[in-house]
Amino acid sequence: MHKHRVGLLGIVIGVTALGCSKELPQVAVDTTAGTKPSAALPTPPERDSATGRLAMRTEAQQHFDKAREALRLKDPKAMATALRAAAVVVRQQTDSAADDAKARLDAVAHELDTLARRAEGGAQLAANRLNLLFASANQAEAERHQRRSVDALILRDTLRAAEDMLMAVDHLERAARDAKIPLDKSALAVANSARALGADLLDRHAPGQRSIQAVQDSLGREIHQFGTRIRRR
C-alpha cells in the first residue's frame, strides 16, 4: 500500500511540474454568476491559415455583403444594421493607418453612417454607390496594410511584413471586385509578385531586402493608382 502511495505521489508531482513549465492562460472568473445572465461571448478572430497564428481579421467585408443582400431583398432595416456595423469596423482601423489612408477610412465610415440613416428613412440606395464606397474602404485598407508592411520591414520583422503584404493584396483584389473595375496587367503582375513574396517570407525564405522593398514599392503604387481610378467613377 505504501509503494502505491509513493508511486501515485510521483505521478502527481511529475504532472504538476510539467503543467508549471508553461504559463497558464488567464481565465476570467464571473463573480456575479447566478445573479444575471451571462453576456454573449465575442466571435473569435479568424485564424490565419498561412501562419497558424491568430490574426485579427475582423473585416468590414462581411457587413458589405450583408448590405448588398439587404438591398436585393429590399430590407432597409437590415441594410442600416449592416452599414453601421461596417462603419464600426472601418473606424477601428484608423488608429494604425497613415494620414492619407486614415482620412479616407474616416470619410468612408462617415458615409456608411449617412447611408444607414438614409436607408432607415426609406431612401432607395443605388447599388453602384454602395459598391464604390465598399471599394474605397478596401482600397484604403490595402494602403494601410502596405504601409504597415513597409514599416515592419524597416524593423526587420519579416513575418509581420509578409502578413501585411498579403493582406494588402487581398484588399486590393476586394476593391477591384467591389468596384467592378478589373485590375490591369501591371496591377495583376505586381499583386502576384507580392503574394509569392509574402508566401516566401512566411516560409522564412527571405530574398534580399532590396528585392522586398522593390515589390513593396510597386504594390504601393498600384494601390494608389487604383484608388485614383475609383475616385474618378
Measure the CA–CA gap between 2 and 117, rounded to whole angstroms: 76
What does pTM read for this prediction? 0.73
Measure the CA–CA gap between 167 and 164, rounded to whole angstroms: 5
Query: What is residue 8's predicted lDDT score, i.e. its pLDDT?
Result: 37
Query: What is residue 137's predicted lDDT score, i.e. its pLDDT?
Result: 94
What's the one-letter identity of residue 172? L
**Coil, helix or strand at residue 142:** helix
Q: Which residue has the higher pLDDT, 40 or 5?
A: 5
Q: Which residues contact 195 (CB under 8 A, 6 or more apart)?
A: 166, 169
Instruction: Indicate if the pLDDT at residue 60 is higher than 70.
Output: yes
pLDDT band at 58, cuts 50/70/90? low
Of 29-38, 65-74, 78-87, 224-233, the one with minimum mean pLDDT is 29-38
By CB atoms closer than 10 A (0-12, 13-18, 19+), residue 148 is buried
What are 147-197's pLDDT values in tens digits?
Answer: 999 999 899 898 899 999 999 999 999 999 999 999 999 999 999 999 999
User: What's the whole-number average pLDDT of the chain?
Assistant: 79
Query: What is residue 25's predicted lDDT score, i.e. its pLDDT?
Result: 38
Contact 150, 169 (CB under 8 A): no
Determine the distance from the C-alpha atom of residue 149 to the mean position of all C-alpha atoms in its chain, rounded to a whole number. Answer: 14
Measure the CA–CA gap between 131 and 129, rounded to whole angstroms: 5
What string of H, E and C letters represents the secondary structure of 111-157?
HHHHHHHHHHCCCCCCHHHHHHHHHHHHHHHHHHHHHHHHHHHHCCC
Give the three cell numbers for residue 49: 491559415
